[in-house]
Amino acid sequence: MPKPLQKPHPPVYVACFSEPTMRMAAEQGFHIIFAPFAASMMFGSLANAVAKFKELASAAGFPDSKAMCSYFTCIADTPAEKLAAQERLLYYLTNFIPAVPQTRRRHTPHSLLRRYRERVKRMKPQDLGERSIVTGTVDEVIQQFEQVERPASKK
């Protein structure tokens, strides 16, 4: 309530961190939002994740389903500002660790989060690149986003 006036209904985007979620979104005709860091961990790259989603959505009868990404972004005019942005993001990611379940069972919904926790524990700010944060000068940030938007065949 209230019933949406938009027809067809407003687009629905599902945040995705795993293949079961991706499959559910594709089968329901929903669009998807990836966190590039998680997509890279689960599927090898953001491009692989998008390709897999498009394949599943097309097979389910929804060839026009869309994939979006959520990026941390910071315009940084100097290398020091860029490093500060990476440090802030690592601080944010590190503070997520206590919320990750500590169970050791394999192939549970929490297995991705356990891999995330272990990877973040080993990270240095300089390790945070385009898979997790888009930062640099205005021109560098534009170039990074253009690279992400470019179809895989043109990269």
Q: Which of 28-32, 80-84, 140-144, 146-150 has the lowest mean pLDDT?
A: 146-150
Q: Which of 5, 147, 7 is nearest to 71 (CA)?
A: 147
- Binning pLDDT at 50, 70 and 90, where does residue 28 land? very high
In sequence order, the 6+-apart residues with CB closer than 8 A to the CB of 62 are 26, 29
**What is the percentage of the chain residues whose pLDDT exceeds 90?**
39
> Is 80 within 8 Å of 63 (Cβ atoms)?
no
Give pLDDT, residue 32.
96
- Binning pLDDT at 50, 70 and 90, where does residue 150 land? confident
**What is the percentage of the chain residues whose pLDDT exceeds 70?**
88
- Binning pLDDT at 50, 70 and 90, where does residue 27 land? very high
- Binning pLDDT at 50, 70 and 90, where does residue 10 land? confident
**Statement: the pTM of the whole predicted model exceeds 0.75:** no
Give pLDDT, residue 133.
83
pLDDT 10s digits, 60-112: 999 999 999 888 899 999 999 999 999 998 898 888 777 766 666 555 555 66
Q: Which of 12, 19, 10, 15 is nearest to 51 (CA)?
A: 19
